[in-house]
Structure 1
Amino acid sequence: MASDTKSPITVEPHEKLQHADHVDRHESVVLANADVMNDAYAGENREHAEGMWASIKAHPWACFWSFIMCFTIVMESFDMFLNGNFVALLPFQRKYGVLVAEGKFAISTKWQSALFQSGQCGAFVGVFLAGPITNRLGYRWTTLVGLMLMNATIFVSFFANSLGLLVAGQALEGVPWGIFIANSPAYASEVVPIVLRGATTATLQMSWSIGGIIVAAVTYGFNKRNDQWAWRIPLALQWIFPTPLMILIFLAPESPWWLVRKGHKEKALRSLNRLGTKDPQHAHQSLAVIERTVEIEAQQGGAPTLLDLFKGVDLRRTTIICLMYASQNFAGNLIANQATFFFEQAGINHNRAFELNLINSCLGFVANAGSWWLTKWFGRRTIYLWGTAVNITFLVILGICASVKQNSGTNYAQAILGILISFVYAGAMGPISYTVIAETSSVRLRALSTGVGRAAYYVAEIPMIYLASKMLNTTGWNLAGKCGYVWGGTALVCWIGAYFGLPELKGRSYREIDILFNRGVSARKFKSTALDVKDNE
């Protein structure tokens, strides 16, 4: 469908297009089609001009479906935070711990690390399965397979009667986690207009916070129990998520980008209509934008393979994605994953530590909601650099508070700083990382690159979990708040890397992002580089 004849945008004759746009040398039917190209120009200009609130009102269903897909992350979040609370539950300590003082038990560092790491090891497998399966089945059906697998694997953890079996159950649960975390940011970024990509992908971090809130509330309610149900009931609550999500995702539209890549243009058009593009002309324009971008990328490479991620310009994009994912483990956020245990190690009494953990989780949710508006006002690069700089400061202060003579004041100072560090991460680096990850990858390789990037996260996280447990555990180094020095140093490395390597992608279409990477534009010049709507490379 052609654009309105009153549109000021016109397309040059086919001969000029071939001369001006090198990518047309392959006689692309799509790129040589004047009607499609005019629609693509009009559609991209319309998206650039659309405001955030206007876009939300025009595409409420796109926002809803992207949130539902992102909400699958709540299951990984729930279980990760649950493990962090298990090690602080007295009946769990008595059942599986070692005696460290008169009447006082603790889970040994070895098993504590294994509980945290096993799920991540399973997820490492899941993210590599997600890309090839998604390329074949699509985001919906791949996620549905993951949810069915999740329902089955919870049985192992719930009925585990030893730490070894519980660790095995966590590893099995990790496989579908990997599928969810690989697919969610990719799907969320593909079903919404440009202006909403930052806010919708940031809801991934909100799902983490929701999982943390539920766990904090449940474990706070059960921490006074003295039997096995203090941890078995929280484990059983994992079953509340998969089945409702399966029903909703079965009803969700498939990503129109995936459908176009598979040649299903009519289905892609129906998907666009379901996502909120009610105006027939706007729907055809959005479809043309997708066709054009997919065609440009298709001419740069054939069927996507894992090896493509490490070739040519895609190597740079893969590196950015991997480093952004890995950096999530180096800015002090691992303190939040073990918040209750951290508060206890900082000198806070047992019940108050659980109360502070609940407060910490709720504040994280507030920070996540605030990140939606941050993505509107500030660029991705700006948010990440300033957020990391603030946390570096807090982490160093935390280390100083733990190094002076300890009293009630220093104990609470460490606890408050731990909450502030988690708050900043939940409002800045956490959500913006998912946005950058979703936007950096090419459309053709997105399902694979988000999976490999998350694999880099697990490669970094597994040893960091062991380090975090070693630093906090009384059977380890028992550093308490002095771990701030370590995390402050690693966060500084992340800041330096981001300053030189993180490009600004706010407000860019996927076509524009492709062009900027293909031209080898410096990360610090992405924002200032001007592109024409007619550029194809």
Structure 2
Amino acid sequence: MENVAGTEKTPVKNELSEPQPAIHVEWLADAQDANSDEHKLGFWTALRVYRKSVLWSVAVSTAIFMDGYDTMMMGNLYGQPAFRERYGFLVKKDNYQIPAPWQIGLNNGSSCGQLIGLLLSGYACDRFGFRKTMALGLSGSIPLIFILFFAPNLPVLEVGQILFGIPLGLFQTLPVVYAAEIAPGSLKPYLTTYVNSCWAIGHLIGAGIFRGCLPMTSQWAYRIPFAIQWIWPTILLPVLWFAPESPWWLVRRGRLEDAKVVLRGLTAKGEVALDVDKSVALMAVTVDYERTVNSQTSYSACFKGVDLRRTVVVITIYCIQTLSGNPLRSSSTYFMEQAGFPSTQAANLTVINYALALIGGFAAWVLLPLFGRRPIYVWSLGAMFILLVLIGGLGIPQAHSTNTSYSWAIGALLIISSFLYNATMGPLTNTLCAEIPSALLRSKSVVLARWVYTVTSIIAGVFSPYQLNPSAWNWGAKTGFFWAGACLMSFIFAFFCVPETKDRSSAEMDILFDRKLSARHFHKTTIDLTEAVIEKTDGEK
């Protein structure tokens, strides 16, 4: 693929401010071959050839342990008697509670900081790449953990939560995009869904630590969970030093030779299943095609032309995580306590809940080759709606009865809901959101989606404590009805708007969206890459 690597015909520009909007037709033959080869590349062959890509993606995704741990930490600290006694107020004899307004502030503190970090992440990632942006976020988190660890009161704890959220926002979306860009199509869904498993692993680690600290009555019952957060950046920062940059990012920067060097380093030596020159040609043609549609790379570009539809779909898919009942699942310990369980038993069920959630993540790998992304996603939302209705229905008699069987049934349904979420729509959120945006705007689209999702989480975090807190609205398990309604709206949107992305390259997704096809027709539309690109080139002329 001489034309891609050379600089005689096409001078390579290294700045994003100087895009190359023209499609280089002479690259099309190589790009078409690479596109065909990617479709033919089976899972086991891809795993053998790209095993280094898999290892690096898994290593970078480990950073999400930290985000998953932080997501569940504060909600479950409310179920920690020592924490409530230290920071809460006496409600009745031997019963301390964190007031609902402070629960709202603490729940949303980290999310508010993440809003800042996410916007910075989109700019930093496009300018400096994945490795440097990840390292910046992890480095910034280390000193801020001291504020949480030594917080003497609720106001300081709130400040610590806000500041700590900024570095979390810097790196929390990058592993998904990195996984999508460092591996071929046959491995992409497994690596992107694994990112969701990392959240589940972070949840499980946190649940185990909270369960172990539950009998403790000293300050270490809540200080140890804060201190655990120092582990992740200490491990990951040295690893990131050796991690390869995304070849797609290098192509977007015009560094085609560097992209080829990275691809050669990521593939097993002696393998002939990959033609590096043709792979870079496909990336270059894809990026150039996208620049003919929309040459801008700013956040505002995500809302222009055909990219508007892609951005809206990605944002809504991310927000559906909240609308499908995540606020119940993220506060499972506190929720189960309000459903009638003692603190110890609630913590035990929470550990089981997160363990099954992790197993659900691996179950998603079994479903991926059997079904498309769209049917798994859409029909799991329907099943989630039914489970939430059942949880809310059981909350009615449970509120007026001392029979513990209602509490057990509610806890079981909550665990089943968590397993279903992590086996289907949860991990597929990452896969769909990595595959639907254009390669040129992928990082910023995912950042925007996560940003709006964080806003919805903040909004949910405002009224969720009131829903569950016995000193406020005291809905208990009847909260399930509220989220069932939101889940139903999500199901309707997914049915009409979420496209099938299975077995589609980035170039093919560009063409399908450019043709303004219905989401329900993506899976049965045949694409000829060369014909489509030439048609676009002629149209531009």
Common topology (TM > 0.5): yes
2:307 matched to which residue of 1? 314
- 1:38: Cα distance to partner? 2.2
- Per the TM alignment, residue 514 of structure 1 is displaced from its structure 2 partner at its CA by 0.4
More displaced stretch, 487-496 vs 329-338? 329-338
| Separation (CA, whole Å) in 1 of partners of 2:152 and 2:371 | 50
**What's 1:458 paired with?**
454
**TM-score calculated relative to the size of structure 2:** 0.92
Residues 53-90 of structure 1: per-residue CA shift (max 9 Å, x gap): 22122211111111222221211211121111210111
Which of 48, 53, 70 is the aligned partner of 1:57?
48
Q: Tell me, what secondary structure is at the counterpart of 1:348?
A: coil
Residue 262 (structure 2) pairs with residue 263 (structure 1): no
Contact 1:332 1:422 in 2 (8 A): no
Q: Does 1:254 align with 2:245?
A: yes
Equivalent AA in structure 1 for residue 216 of structure 2: R
The 3 A distance-change label for structure 1 pair 225 and 264 is same
Change (3 A) 1:389 1:94: same
Structure 2 match to 1:168? 159
What SS does structure 2 have at the residue aligned with 1:105? strand
What SS does the corresponding residue of 1:483 show, helix, strand or coil?
A: helix
Aligned to 1:434: 430
| 1:303, distance to aligned residue in structure 2 (A) | 4.1
Equivalent of residue 532 in structure 1, options 521, 528, 533: 528
CA distance in 1, matches of 2:249, 2:77: 40
Secondary structure at the counterpart of residue 91 of structure 2:
strand
Determine whether 1:187 maps to 2:178.
yes
Counterpart pick for 1:422 among 418, 430, 452? 418
1:299 aligns with one of 283, 287, 292 = 292
Distance in 2, matches of 1:303 and 1:502, equals 25
Residue type at the aligned position of 1:243: T
For residue 394 of structure 2, the aligned residue among 401, 406, 411 is: 401
- Provide TM-score, normalisation by structure 1: 0.93
Given candidates 74, 84, 91, the residue that maps to 1:93 is 84
- What are the superposed Cα offsets for residues 240-296 of structure 1, whole Å, 9 maximum, x if unpaired? 001211111221110000001111111101111122264476222211111111121
Structure-1 residue corresponding to 2:283: 290
Q: 1:369 to 1:506 in 2, by over 3 A?
A: same
Query: Would the aligned equivalents of 1:59 and 1:276 in 2 still touch at CA under 8 Å?
Result: yes
> Is 1:361 matched with 2:357?
no
The number of residue pairs the alignment matches comes to 512
- Per the alignment, in what secondary structure is the counterpart of residue 227 of structure 1? coil
Q: Which amino acid aligns with 1:43?
A: A
Q: 1:129 and 1:116 mapped to 2: Cα distance?
A: 22
Partner residue in 2 for 1:330: 323
Answer whether contact 2:377 2:425 (CA < 8 A) is retained: yes
Deviation at 1:27, TM superposition (A): 9.6
| Residue equivalent to 1:499 | 495
State how far apart, in whole Å, the 2-side matches of 1:325 and 1:228 are: 37
Q: Deviations over 1:179-235 (max 9, x none)?
A: 212322111101111111111111121111111111111111111111111011110
Give yes or no for contact 1:277–1:283 (8 Å, CA) kept in 2.
no
Give the 3 Å change call, closer, same or farther, for CA 277–308 of structure 1 in structure 2.
farther
CA distance in 2, matches of 1:154, 1:517: 44
Map of 1:160-239 to 2, 5 A cutoff?
A: 160-239=151-230
Distance 1:27 1:339 in 2: 50
The 8 Å contact of residues 442 and 514 in structure 1, kept in 2 or not, is answered as yes
Structure 2: gaps (5+ residues): 4-19, 537-541
1:523 aligns with 2:519: yes
CA deviations on 1:315-367 (whole Å, 9 max, x unpaired) are 10110111011111011122221111111111111111111111111111000
Residues 288 and 45 of structure 1: CA distance in aligned 2, closer, same or farther (over 3 Å): same
Structure 1 position 533, deviation (Å): 3.1
Amino acid at match of 2:120: L
> 1:144 Cα deviation (Å)?
0.7
Q: Distance in 1 between matches of 2:329 and 2:224?
A: 22
Runs of 4+ residues over 3 Å off in structure 1: 277-281
* Deviation at residue 2 of structure 1 after TM alignment: 7.1
> Would you say 1:467 and 2:463 are equivalent positions?
yes
Deviation digits for residues 474-518 of structure 1 (CA, Å, limit 9, x no counterpart)? 122111111110111100000001111111111100000000111
Match for 2:112 among 115, 121, 146? 121
1:76–1:174 CA contact under 8 A, matched in 2: no
8 Å contact kept, 1:333–1:421: no
Q: Is the 8 A contact 1:199 1:373 kept in 2?
A: no
Match of 1:103 in 2: 94
Distance across 2 between alignment mates of 1:215 and 1:40 = 46
Question: What is the aligned-residue identity percentage?
Answer: 35
Aligned residue number for residue 8 of structure 1: none
Give me the whole-angstrom Cα distance separating, in 1, the residues matched to 2:134 and 2:336: 36
Distance 2:445 2:419 in 1: 28
Instruction: Give the CA deviation at 1:136.
Output: 0.7
Tell me how far 1:32 sits from its aligned partner: 2.5
Q: Does 1:81 align with 2:72?
A: yes
| Match in the other structure for 1:153 | 144
Could you say which residue in structure 2 is the equivalent of 1:392?
Answer: 385
AA of the residue aligned to 2:516: G
State the one-letter code of the partner of 1:285: K
Tell me the equivalent position of 1:48: 39
Q: What SS is found at the alignment partner of 1:252?
A: coil
2:372 counterpart letter in structure 1: G
Q: Which amino acid aligns with 1:481?
A: A
Corresponding residue for residue 490 of structure 1: 486
Give the SS at the match of 2:502: coil
Kindly indicate whether the alpha-carbon contact (under 8 Å) linking 1:127 and 1:179 is maintained by their aligned counterparts in 2: yes
1:409 and 1:230 mapped to 2: Cα distance? 30
Residue 168 of structure 1, CA deviation? 1.0
Once superposed, what is the RMSD of the aligned Cα atoms? 1.6
- 2:357–2:423: 8 Å Cα contact kept in structure 1? yes
Report the alpha carbon displacement of residue 174 of structure 1 after superposing the two structures with TM. Answer: 0.8
| Structure 1 range deviating more: 367-376 or 478-487 | 367-376
Aligned residue number for residue 16 of structure 2: none
> Deviations along 1:102-138, whole A, 9 cap, x unmatched?
2111111111111110001111111111111111101
Q: Which moved more, 1:133-142 or 1:92-101?
A: 92-101
Q: In structure 1, what is the Cα distance between the partners aligned to 2:361 and 2:170?
A: 23
Secondary structure class of the residue paired with 1:100: strand
Determine the C-alpha separation between the residues in 2 that align with 1:303 and 1:254: 22
Task: Read off the aligned partner of 1:54 and give its amino acid letter.
Answer: T
Moved more, 96-105 or 386-395: 96-105
Counterpart residue identity of residue 463, structure 2 = L
Residue identity opposite 2:449 in structure 1 = G
